[in-house]
Amino acid sequence: MTLMVSVSGVRGIVGPELNPQVIGRWVESLSEILPPGPVVVGRDSRPSGEALAAVAAGCFAAAGRPVFDVGLVPTPTVQLAVELWHAAGGVILSASHNPAPWNALKFVDAGGSFLAPERFALLRSAYDRNDRAALPASSYGRIEARRREALDLHLERVVAMVDAARIRQANLRVVIECGHGAGGALLPDLGRALGIQLDVRHEDTTGQLLDDPEPSTSSLSALAQTGAGAHFAIMVDPDADRCGLAIPGTEVIGEEWTLPLVTAHRLRSGGEGPVVTNLSTSSRMELAAASHGSEVLRSPVGEAHVVAEMRRVGALIGGEGNGGVIDPRAHLGRDSAVAFALLSEAEAAPGGLRELAASFANRAMIKEKIAMSDNGFGPIAEKLSQALGAADDQRDGLWWRRPTGFVHVRASNTEPIVRAVVESASETEARELIAQVRAAIG
C-alpha cells in the first residue's frame, strides 16, 4: 500500500509509508505555498503523534517559520488557533478513525480552514517539484509551546456562542465517550463550564484507541444503554472533530442525527440562511431546512469541500453526516465541542432534543464498505450507471436522488475502499437499494 493523498490530507502506516522523510517534504512544501508568518502544529493522542509532530515543527522552523506548538489537542483547536493568532497556516498529525498503526498530515490554510481543493493542488505541485534550498541556521524560526492557551481560547469561543446561562439552569446530565482521544483534552472542561453533570468515559488521552474508535451506531447504542438517566450521550472520534449522538430510551442513535438536530435547532431559534452538507449526509437535512423555509446545498464529501460551499453561499450552518458540525460563529471547521454545546442548548430549550427529533419523518440509512480492485473506481462506476441509470450528481462518485433519500457510491478519500450509502423511508426500502448496488457491482 502507498500513501493516500487527497484533499483530506496525507495518510499512511507509520514507518513504511509515513515517516520523518515524507513528513519533512510535505511540511516544506506547505511552507512554500503559505503566506509569510508563524504556523501552528498540533496532534491527536496516537502514540506516534508526539515524535511526528516534533518532526513537523522542526521542519517548519528549518524553513524559517516561527512555530506555535499546541501539542495534544482536538483538530478544531489547531484550526481555531490558526485563525485567532493570525497564523499563516498549520499542520495537524491525526489519522482520525484509521487504525492505530496509521497517522496522517492534515493541512490548515491561513484563516483556519483546511486547504481548499485548488490550494491542495498547489501543495501537490510544490511537493512534486521538491526543489527547495536549505536555509542557514541563522534563518531558522523558534518553536514556542502554547497548548493551554489554545485550549482556553477554544473553550471560550464555544461557550460564548451558546446561551450558557440557559444550559446551566437546565441541570443537564450527559455521558461523554472520549475514547482515549484528543477530545479528553477539551470536552469535559467544556461540559463543566456549561454546568453539566458529566459521566466521562476514557477521558485520559493515552491514544490506546477503542476497538471501534468511530462514533458508530453500535458504539452509541452501547453508550445509551449504560447512560440511563442521562439527557443524552455523545461519542467523539480520536481527533474530536466529529460527534455522534444517542438519546437513551429513544431511537435517536447515530452520527447522522447530530447535524440535522443542531440544524433544526439553529433554524428554530431564528437563524436564517442556507444550509450546506455533503452528498452522503441524511436527507433529514432537507426536512429540517424545509420546515423553516431554508434550503440545503450539497457538496462533495470532505470538510474542505463543505467549507468552500459554506463560504460561497454564506451558510447559517453546515457539516457532514459523520457527526461533523460547522457553525461559522465559532469557526469554519468541523468541531465536536461546537456540536456538544449546540446539542446542550437544544436540550435546554422547550421540548428538548426528543421533541425536535420526533418532528422528523422516518429515514433509514445503510452504509457499506466495498473492496476496490487495482482497476480503481472507473469499472464500478460503469456497472452502476448501467444498472441504476444516469446519476444526478457526478462531482464525487455517483449520486442518485430518490423520493425519500438517495444512493451515493464513491471512492473513499481516507481508505482504499468504495463507500456506498443509501437512504430511504424504511429499513426494507434501504436494504433493497443497497442490494441493487451490490448486485450491480458484482
Spans of all domains in the chain:
4-145, 152-358, 364-441
Per-residue pLDDT at 442: 82
**Is 96 part of the annotated catalytic residue set?**
yes
Question: In the predicted model, is pLDDT for residue 1 greater than 80?
Answer: no
Q: Is 173 helix (H, G, I), strand (E, B) or coil?
A: strand
**pTM > 0.75: yes or no:** yes
- The residue annotated as part of the active site, out of 29, 45, 48, 96, is 96
pLDDT category, 413, cuts 50, 70, 90? confident
| Cell numbers that stand for 69 in this block | 506548538
Q: Please state the length of the chain.
A: 442
Question: In the predicted model, is pLDDT for residue 147 greater than 70?
Answer: yes
Residues 6+ apart with CB under 8 A from 252: 245, 246, 261, 353, 354, 357
- Judged on CB neighbours under 10 Å (0-12, 13-18, 19+), 366 is middle
CATH of domain 364-441: 3.30.310.50
Convert the pLDDT of each residue in 114-143 to its tens digit: 999 999 999 999 999 988 899 999 999 999
pLDDT category, 57, cuts 50, 70, 90? very high
Question: What's the half-sphere exposure (Cβ side, CA atoms, 13 Å) at 181?
Answer: 33
Per-residue pLDDT at 163: 98
pLDDT category, 236, cuts 50, 70, 90? very high
Which value, in Å, is the radius of gyration of the alpha carbons in the chain? 21
Note whether 152-358 and 364-441 share their fold. Answer: no
pLDDT category, 101, cuts 50, 70, 90? very high
Rounded to the nearest integer, the mean pLDDT of the chain is 96
Of the candidate CATH numbers 1.10.150.20, 2.60.40.10, 3.40.120.10, 2.30.30.40, the domain formed by 4-145 belongs to: 3.40.120.10
Question: In the predicted model, is pLDDT for residue 414 greater than 90?
Answer: no
pLDDT category, 278, cuts 50, 70, 90? very high
The CATH superfamily holding the domain 152-358 is Alpha-D-Glucose-1,6-Bisphosphate, subunit A, domain 3 (3.40.120.10)
Per-residue pLDDT at 8: 87
Per-residue pLDDT at 375: 82
Question: In the predicted model, is pLDDT for residue 387 greater than 70?
Answer: yes
